[in-house]
């Protein structure tokens, strides 16, 4: 069923390079905020050290024109200091009084030397005190601690300065059990996205080093030497990076642990199947392994075919049903990682870029619970990564392909077998007519700027849309969907500029397609044009057309129910939320169990 997992999946997909919101339940001792900044620098996270019941004694911001570093001092239950970034700038320190907690963070970011960095930070406390540093910009965001939580640490990316920053909120009171934090899936990013904190993954169990079988005779995306596994995301150029062993296509891997005993797989924290965010572009043909991926799978090998870009992928499953998931073309050199007993693929790093005016996946790196990895392709400046939630492994893929891989996301499956049963409502009656197939998300069109939004919490299956309004001039300034029943709801995103056009829907009329065009303005990718068509053949459009465009159509029996994407003064990124017209009774935000089959992403 849809339910809680749908909201989490939609959040993960909607938030791309600059901001990533992590779906975590309110009962967790640790929660993650969205993150602000860009995809450069090195990953860091205090998550493994943050606990409930901490006493935070001070926070320091080191800043000049931008934010150079941050430090958080913890005095109990264990004394420790979390420090990230460089040593430049001037220290601005806020010392907390007894019972005072940091409860908010404001961040501003901008471009410096072609990299997105954090320019300004401000922290506010429960006592009304604040500390800030840096210089303010037009790109801003803020995060506020949930009730009963405080700032307990950070995650993000850094180097000599802070490139990306998110808050780790920890429960002010001591929890009875260890935190069950959902690992961030990053992004975005971003449309893809920026990487954020890496949560606890599947157990570290020993496994053999990766076994590679490159085929020197193969050709495809180009004759480039593959990058060795373990290469950092960073901000490298798109030029091929040669492995230390030379140019014969061999792949170096880290040595597997030899003394660690296998650990039982953790119990899953959600449905049998979860979907990550996606990386790449809206070209090629859609594919998804989701209908065939199940809990309790045994993955035996993963092959990445690549040279200058990623040509194809093959995932071998031996149990409970032997099957092979293959996507993309046959070009490039194959690099195969064979998994040992109890070893799971728990992370994916992706780089993407332009080729012949199409966005394609240029580089992939997969890591396992035993520390092994396999990679292929060439690195670019556009990067993102995803990490499996606790108790999950890579069980398949979804995205878009042709002769190469154009768009890629991970189907995470529960390591332990999950029995998917129908959810009952009230006194045991089965919840009426709602399945995962009642909601379909279109692809996202546009760029990773602005503030993330989603209408998921406002949508009801029985709703009737009465009108749609576009505000536009040269670009799309805003989009508004008006819902008349079962309650009047206005879903509005964007600014107040441009001229408005409104299409009023007749009885029984609903919106069935969305055409989007996007392009660059002031180095930001924005939505330039939108067109909507209804079941009665009526249409509304606004903005100016560009060469980058796509059309998203509702599946048969579905209608436009809302949007997700990113917006500020204009619409930066947009995707459609389609819902089945005949589905009834449940709100999309109702907390019910999932059937485990997730949400299909279609265009």
Residue 137 contacts residue 120 (beta carbons within 8 Å): yes
- d(C-alpha 422, C-alpha 425), whole Å: 10
Query: CATH classification of 200-418 is 2.100.10.30, yes or no?
Result: yes
pLDDT mean over 313-340: 93
235-244, 422-431, 459-468: which has the minimum mean pLDDT?
Answer: 422-431
Residue 543 contacts residue 472 (beta carbons within 8 Å): yes
Of the candidates 205, 265, 261, the residue with the CA atom closest to the CA atom of residue 416: 265
Question: For 68-84, how does the pLDDT look when each residue is reduced to its tens digit (9 = 90+)?
Answer: 999 999 998 888 899 99
- d(C-alpha 284, C-alpha 404), whole Å: 9
- d(C-alpha 385, C-alpha 99), whole Å: 37
Residue 47 contacts residue 199 (beta carbons within 8 Å): yes
Q: How does residue 266 score in pLDDT terms, banded at 50, 70 and 90? A: low
- Has residue 397 got a pLDDT over 90? yes
- d(C-alpha 510, C-alpha 465), whole Å: 7
DSSP state string for 278-341: EEE-S-SEEEE-TTT--TT-EEEEEEEEESSSEEEEEEEEEESS-EEEEEE-S-SEEEEEEPPT
- d(C-alpha 435, C-alpha 167), whole Å: 34
pLDDT mean over 342-366: 94
Residue 398: CA count within 13 A, CB half-sphere = 25
Name the residue with higher pLDDT: 45 or 248.
Answer: 45
pLDDT of residue 251: 37
pLDDT of residue 236: 32
Query: CATH classification of 433-601 is 2.100.10.30, yes or no?
Result: yes
Q: How does residue 379 score in pLDDT terms, banded at 50, 70 and 90? A: very high
- d(C-alpha 180, C-alpha 33), whole Å: 15
pLDDT of residue 131: 94
Q: How does residue 170 score in pLDDT terms, banded at 50, 70 and 90? A: very high
CATH 2.100.10.30 in the chain, residue ranges: 24-171, 200-418, 433-601
**Sheet with 30-37, edge to edge strand ranges:** 30-37, 162-171, 149-158, 42-45
Residue 220 contacts residue 305 (beta carbons within 8 Å): yes
Residue 589 contacts residue 7 (beta carbons within 8 Å): yes
Q: Give residue for tokens 């006194």.
A: 427
- Has residue 585 got a pLDDT over 70? no
Question: What's domain 24-171's superfamily in CATH?
Answer: Jacalin-like lectin domain (2.100.10.30)
Q: What are phi and psi of 437, to 5 degrees?
A: -75, 0
Give SS3 for 168.
Answer: strand
Residue 304 contacts residue 404 (beta carbons within 8 Å): no
Cβ-proximal residues to 255 (8 Å cutoff; 6+ apart), any chain: 209, 371
Residue 68: CA count within 13 A, CB half-sphere = 12
6-10, 157-161, 414-418, 567-571: which has the minimum mean pLDDT?
Answer: 6-10
Percent above pLDDT 90 for the chain: 52
- d(C-alpha 187, C-alpha 101), whole Å: 28
Q: How does residue 112 score in pLDDT terms, banded at 50, 70 and 90? A: confident
Q: Which two tokens stand for residue 574?
A: 């947009």
Question: For 304-324, how does the pLDDT look when each residue is reduced to its tens digit (9 = 90+)?
Answer: 999 999 999 999 999 988 889
Residue 295 contacts residue 416 (beta carbons within 8 Å): yes
pLDDT mean over 160-182: 75
Residue 320 contacts residue 340 (beta carbons within 8 Å): no
Q: Tell me the pLDDT of the chain averaged across its residues.
A: 78
- d(C-alpha 472, C-alpha 517), whole Å: 13
Residue 413 contacts residue 395 (beta carbons within 8 Å): yes
Of the candidates 45, 73, 44, the residue with the CA atom closest to the CA atom of residue 59: 73
Percent above pLDDT 70 for the chain: 73
pLDDT of residue 250: 32
- Has residue 464 got a pLDDT over 60? yes
């Amino acid at each position: 069923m849809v339910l809680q997992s749908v909201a989490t999946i939609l959040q993960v997909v909607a938030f791309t390079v600059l901001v990533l919101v992590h779906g975590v339940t309110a009962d967790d001792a640790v929660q993650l905020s969205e993150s602000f900044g860009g995809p450069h620098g090195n990953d860091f996270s205090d998550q493994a050290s943050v606990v409930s019941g901490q006493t935070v004694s001070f926070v320091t911001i080191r800043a000049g024109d931008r934010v150079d570093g941050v430090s958080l001092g913890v005095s109990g239950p264990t004394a420790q200091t979390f420090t990230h970034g460089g040593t430049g700038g001037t220290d601005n320190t806020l010392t907390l009084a007894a019972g005072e907690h940091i409860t908010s963070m404001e961040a501003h970011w901008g471009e410096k030397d072609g990299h997105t960095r954090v320019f300004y930070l401000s922290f506010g406390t429960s006592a009304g005190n604040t500390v800030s540093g840096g210089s303010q910009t037009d790109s801003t965001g803020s995060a506020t601690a949930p009730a009963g939580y405080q700032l307990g640490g950070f995650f993000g990316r850094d180097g000599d300065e802070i490139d990306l920053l998110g808050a780790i909120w920890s429960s002010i009171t001591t929890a009875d059990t260890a935190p069950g934090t959902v690992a961030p899936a990053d992004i975005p990013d971003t449309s893809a996205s920026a990487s954020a904190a890496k949560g606890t993954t599947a157990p570290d169990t020993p496994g053999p080093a990766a076994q590679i079988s490159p085929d020197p005779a193969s050709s495809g995306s180009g004759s480039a030497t593959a990058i060795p596994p373990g290469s950092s995301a960073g901000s490298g150029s798109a030029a091929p990076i040669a492995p230390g062993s030379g140019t014969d296509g061999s792949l170096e891997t880290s040595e597997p642990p030899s003394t660690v005993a296998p650990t039982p797989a953790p119990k899953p924290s959600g449905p049998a199947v979860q979907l990550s965010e996606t990386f790449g572009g809206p070209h090629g043909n859609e594919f998804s392994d989701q209908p065939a991926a199940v809990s309790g799978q045994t993955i035996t090998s993963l092959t990445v075919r690549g040279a200058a870009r990623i040509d194809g992928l093959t995932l071998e499953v031996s149990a409970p049903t032997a099957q092979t998931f293959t996507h993309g073309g046959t070009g490039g050199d194959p690099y195969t990682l064979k998994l040992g007993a109890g070893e799971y693929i728990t992370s994916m790093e992706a780089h993407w870029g332009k080729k012949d005016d199409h966005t394609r996946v240029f580089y992939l790196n997969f890591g396992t619970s035993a520390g092994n990895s396999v990679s292929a392709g060439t690195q670019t400046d556009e990067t993102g990564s995803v990490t499996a939630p606790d108790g999950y492994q890579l069980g398949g893929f979804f995205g878009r392909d042709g002769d190469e891989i154009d768009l890629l996301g991970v189907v995470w499956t529960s390591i332990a077998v999950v029995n998917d049963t129908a959810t009952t409502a009230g006194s045991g009656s089965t919840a009426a007519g709602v399945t995962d197939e009642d909601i379909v998300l279109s692809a996202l069109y546009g760029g990773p700027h602005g503030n993330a939004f989603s209408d998921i919490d406002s949508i009801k299956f029985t709703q009737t849309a009465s009108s749609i309004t576009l505000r536009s001039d040269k670009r799309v300034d805003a989009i508004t969907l008006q819902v008349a029943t079962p309650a009047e709801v206005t879903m509005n995103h964007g600014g107040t500029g441009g001229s408005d056009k409104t299409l009023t829907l007749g009885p029984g009329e609903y919106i069935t397609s969305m055409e989007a065009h996007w392009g660059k303005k002031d180095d930001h990718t924005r939505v330039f044009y939108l067109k909507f068509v209804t079941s009665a053949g009526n249409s509304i459009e606004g903005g100016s057309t560009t060469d980058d465009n796509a059309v998203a159509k509702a599946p048969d029996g579905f209608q436009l129910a809302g949007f997700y994407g990113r917006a500020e003064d204009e619409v930066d990124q947009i995707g459609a939320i389609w819902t089945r017209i005949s589905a009834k009774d449940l709100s999309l935000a109702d907390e019910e169990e999932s059937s485990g089959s997730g949400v299909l992403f279609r265009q």
